[in-house]
Structure 1
Amino acid sequence: MAHDSASRETCPQELVDLILDEVDPTDKVTLNSCALVARSFRPTSQKLIFSELTILPWKRDQYTILALQLRPTIWMQSVISAGILSALNNVKSLKIRIRSWHHLDSTCEQAIYSLIARSSLSSIKIDGAYFQTNPKLVALLQCFPASLESASFSKVFTNWTDLTSESIQFKSQLHLASLHLGTPDPTLFHWASRAVDLRCLQHLHTIFDDDAMDAVQPLLDGAINTETYHLSFWGCYSHTGSPNLGKMQRLRTLEISVELNWMDILEVAGQGLDNPLDDAMLALATAPPTVEHLVLNLEIDNPNELHHFMGPATLNHLGETLPALHDVAIRIVSSCDDDAALQHGIRYVEAAFPRLHQRGMLTAIVVPPTGSGG
């Protein structure tokens, strides 16, 4: 018996979309396969495939070429890239790594700005970027949509001038839940203080050094509802002052990272500069009593040199100043391949803070540096 093709039962499109929405957006292999199943599968599959995008630079001759990480074998000149970027309407997560923005073709640059301004965007990460002028960076920041929930900046630099002296208007305050400022450039701190509703922040990461010192404190004073804060010290010493965490009254997890370089201490001897670990202790002393978890990252080449930096057992008194504290983790961040030195570092930390160790609150471990592949 012949069947009319028009009478064949089909799965409702709504049901197809519900099924595909359950696929992990990072599982591109599965999504690519789904896109080939039937026409009804294609739109939703492609929407999910291009919901996360990474833009990488590739400079060849006099042209700046962009590559989409989703199609790493295809290289596109800037004019072509602009056309492709303008067609991506459902990008939710965007990662950009463009070293020198002044090398971008203006058409491509505007296409990137338009992509950032998409109302679908909820997460953006900018890594390893240099802007010759502040207006270049400000133009990018002004594109951030109200839908943005997470923003991350790592190694972003400008030829800095004080934003507070400029007449810069931002669309509206961003209600970010997470903000990562992995750069000491004050421009971004001033932007965050003015364009971000700091009361909405739940997770915050900042770098603290001499250049960003005055810009960091207003950010911390406004982040009154932040629950997780990671403070990284970068090339500054306790004589310059230290961040005050006293107004972060909902803080639950505090992570502090310090780079310990014995040669630097030797070089500055006699100049009134102190142990960089003192910066961490000064900041820790201002932590609110709500802190339950403390992580201290000690980045050091040779763990055998820890005794040069760790003096009085300051952490042993945390039970008195931080009554809610449950645990303390000290992570020795080192690429050292000498197992004896690594074990010695762990034992030294445990011996330096005997009260915490005896009470079962202290965990000392060694971890490789980020990006080391270890």
Structure 2
Amino acid sequence: MAHHNLSGVFCAMCPQELIDLILGKIILADKETLKSCALVARSFRPTSQKMIFSDLTILPPGRDNIPALQRLTDVLSGSSHLALYVRTLHLIQPGFYKPCVWMQSDILPAILPVLTNLKSLNVRIYNWNYFHSNCEQAIYTLIARSSLASIELKDACLQTNARLLSFLRCLPASLQSASFLDVFAGHMSYRNDPKSELHKLRLVSLHLDSYAPALFQWAIRVVDPTCLRHLHTMIKENTINVVQQLLDGAVYVETYHLFFGSIFSHPENLDLQKMQGLRTLEISVRLNWEEIEEVAGQGQHNPLNDAMRTLETAPHSVEHLVLNLNICNPDDLSHFMGFASFEHLGDRPALQDVVVRIVSDYDYSALQHGIRYLEAVFHRLHERGVLMAIAVRPPSQEED
């Protein structure tokens, strides 16, 4: 009883701003602590509830059941103000190859309309064929909300381009950031339909790490490249032309991450010369000589050729360069020899640092050997003190 009185005295004397500041130090993922704080005193409750419901997941792995979904519905309907606190929503299919409860339930269409202040939506649904029709339509309606500023579509297999385009048509003009990771769709080309595209998107950030060519073609026609400041694209043999069109217009992009998603031989490389606003360039390449095919009449193709030819076209405004190398054998680093790009890097006065990240299954001593080899290859940068080589081991091995 005495403890309760002391707590009441503290809350009465402590400014609400200080209480909010203290609660703000709690990480959003620590829901249990936030729930406890909400019960401390009336002054703790509003801020604790805002933080609890600001980031909502439907439904977390292990809780994919009708009772959990129904409880969420009851909470949001009984205390309607809680729905207004939801700023970020995650829609997750826990298992790739089996439907989850919320995808085939008519409960979700009753939840989504009340999330009127949603800012960010993350959708991780592999098989869209498992959807209840009303559930899928409720998601499209949610995407079209004018409050939405950021969207991420990840690990999605939409089977047909028509389904992908249904998703894309809903994106609101207010959107600032769009991310598409490991998205699969049909192989048909995208067709520009003026009846279904009423506005262009003035995105600040665009992430296209996808296997759907139609997605890249959509970006060319819908996204205003002059508004982009952050860009990430995968490059494949069937997307190199549309990616180049996007880069030609992305003159104000400050950060560009280029990922070479497959080994291919192409007569032309990407050209970055028009990206005069570029300050940070990140290039990712996967090296595995056992999987590299021989190009007819040309012998074994070196995947670094495409990356390094592109690097040579980078504007001299680049201040930070990052090379991500996923290697199966540190000896593969010997293929760095002979690239003129590395020598030219030493002639770039704006360049402040070069970071080389190595991801490998090999032991740490082998990676250290690879780092020493890289320092020899980048000797001019090493002398200037701008080279930083980092060995990164896969998370699974770090845990072991």
TM range (shorter): 0.7 to 0.9
The counterpart of 2:285, out of the listed 252, 258, 280, is 258
Q: Helix, strand or coil for the counterpart of 1:163?
A: coil
What TM-score comes out, normalization by structure 1 length?
0.83
The counterpart of 1:53, out of the listed 64, 89, 99, is 89
Q: Deviations over 1:208-252 (max 9, x none)?
A: 010111110111111111100000011133534211111111000
The counterpart of 1:112, out of the listed 139, 142, 152, is 139
Letter in 2 for 1:359: R
Letter in 1 for 2:169: Q
Q: Helix, strand or coil for the counterpart of 1:265?
A: coil
Q: Helix, strand or coil for the counterpart of 1:297?
A: strand
Contact persistence 1:326–1:361 (CA under 8 A): yes
Letter in 2 for 1:95: N
Contact persistence 2:97–2:127 (CA under 8 A): no
The counterpart of 1:334, out of the listed 343, 348, 360, is 360
Q: Deviations over 1:146-190 (max 9, x none)?
A: 232211111001112221455563232222211111113221112
The corresponding residue for 1:221 is: 248
Contact persistence 2:205–2:230 (CA under 8 A): yes
Displacement of 1:62 in angstroms is 8.4
Aligned mates of 2:281, 2:95 — CA distance in 1: 40
Contact persistence 2:263–2:292 (CA under 8 A): no
The corresponding residue for 1:325 is: 351
Displacement of 1:288 in angstroms is 0.9
Relative to structure 1, the CA distance from residue 145 to residue 255 in structure 2 (aligned partners, 3 Å threshold; closer, same or farther) is same
The corresponding residue for 2:383 is: 358
Q: Deviations over 1:321-370 (max 9, x none)?
A: x331111111112132x222111110110111211111111111111357
The corresponding residue for 1:125 is: 152
The corresponding residue for 1:153 is: 180
Q: How does 1:69-108 map to 2 (within 5 A)?
A: 77-108=104-135
Instruction: Tell me if 1:346 matches 2:371.
Output: yes
The counterpart of 1:293, out of the listed 316, 320, 327, is 320
Letter in 2 for 1:32: K
Contact persistence 1:255–1:296 (CA under 8 A): yes
The corresponding residue for 2:72 is: none
Letter in 2 for 1:363: M
Relative to structure 1, the CA distance from residue 85 to residue 265 in structure 2 (aligned partners, 3 Å threshold; closer, same or farther) is same
The counterpart of 1:192, out of the listed 219, 229, 234, is 219
Q: Helix, strand or coil for the counterpart of 1:287?
A: coil
Contact persistence 1:184–1:212 (CA under 8 A): no
State the percentage of identical aligned residues: 56
Q: Helix, strand or coil for the counterpart of 2:322?
A: strand
Displacement of 1:120 in angstroms is 2.5
Contact persistence 1:255–1:297 (CA under 8 A): yes
Aligned mates of 1:35, 1:157 — CA distance in 2: 43
Q: Which moved more, 1:342-351 or 1:326-335?
A: 326-335
Relative to structure 1, the CA distance from residue 373 to residue 210 in structure 2 (aligned partners, 3 Å threshold; closer, same or farther) is farther
Q: Please, which runs of 5 or more residues in structure 2 have no aligned partner?
A: 1-11, 55-87
The corresponding residue for 1:32 is: 35
Aligned mates of 2:379, 2:166 — CA distance in 1: 52
Q: Please, which runs of 5 or more residues in structure 1 have no aligned partner?
A: 1-8, 67-75
Contact persistence 1:313–1:352 (CA under 8 A): no
Relative to structure 1, the CA distance from residue 130 to residue 283 in structure 2 (aligned partners, 3 Å threshold; closer, same or farther) is same
